[in-house]
A and B are shown apart, each in its own frame.
Chain A
Amino acid sequence: MSELMIYNQTFASDLHISADVQKEIQELWQSRGMSDMDLPDLQLALEEGLANAIKHGNKMDPEKTVTVECFLNGDIVRVVIQDEGPGFDPNDVPDPTLPENLDKPSGRGVMLMKAFMDDVLYNETGNQLTFIKRCTFNR
């Protein structure tokens, strides 16, 4: 089975636009029959990925854009999120579970994505995120 791009959108770094984009993608997944078990996990990863791209990647600069692409290959969902920031090294993100970081209010997004997705990858620059999850679809 070949992979199909089901969504492709480039938008300004604005959290309200991001919310609209997430709603569109959610509706698309639902229309394809994604199970209620998987949908919240994908929504969480999408929110974390887009929030990181807008806030940390593009530093909320409305001149910079975020591109999100969603693919479907059988039951495998793949999402690619690209920002226009300089990128980062995901290995440099402080471990939020260390005692000294436990009470810090931020820095858990990547960890949550990794917990709920099958795979979370970054390109070499660190400004393109890919997450993958095998889901159940009611078709």
Chain B
Amino acid sequence: MASDVTRFNIQTIDGVTIAKFIDNRILDEATIQVIGEQMYRLVDDHGFRKVLLDFEAVEHLSSAALGKLINMKKKMDAAGGQLGMCSLRPELLKIFKVTKLTKVFDISASIEKALKGF
């Protein structure tokens, strides 16, 4: 499943697609472009409607990466699906708090806690 999605580890639990980022730094434009395309594919091509993005491996991401996440959220909302995020390190959570994107995204401390929200 989702063999064309190489920048994520994909697993399904209780009908929720958990997409775990492999890259620990999502900073440079080329990486962000590929990750964005593969993330959108989860909704557009694979038709997943319950997606949880697992950030456990991610140490830092840039504002351009935030843009891709916002577009992903819009895609999911338009498709009538649900997007969650989990396992953000403190430094990553700071990025979402500073930008107030904690108001936009459903962010949970762990996969287990996030799954309860689906």
Contacts and interface: CB of A to CB of B under 8 A. Distances in A.
Interface in B34-80: 59-60, 62-64, 66-68, 70-71, 73-74
Contacts of B29: 15, 18-19, 51
Contacts of A139: none
B90 to A, nearest CB: 11
Contact of B100 (A22, A51, A97): A97
Contacts of A15: 28-30
Given A15-B29, A115-B94, A102 B59 contact: no
B56 to A, nearest CB: 16
A129 B90 CA distance: 27
B27 interface: yes
A44 B27 CA distance: 7
B49 to A, nearest CB: 20
A22 B63 contact: no
A103 B28 contact: no
A48 interface: yes
B104 A102 contact: yes
A103 B27 contact: no
A51 B64 contact: yes
Given A22-B28, A43-B27, A103-B70, A115 B98 contact: yes
A112 interface: yes
A94 interface: no
Interface in A90-118: 96-97, 102-109, 111-112, 115
Contacts of A105: 66-68, 70-71
B30 A51 contact: no
Interface of B: 25, 27-30, 59-60, 62-64, 66-68, 70-71, 73-74, 91, 94-95, 98-101, 103-104
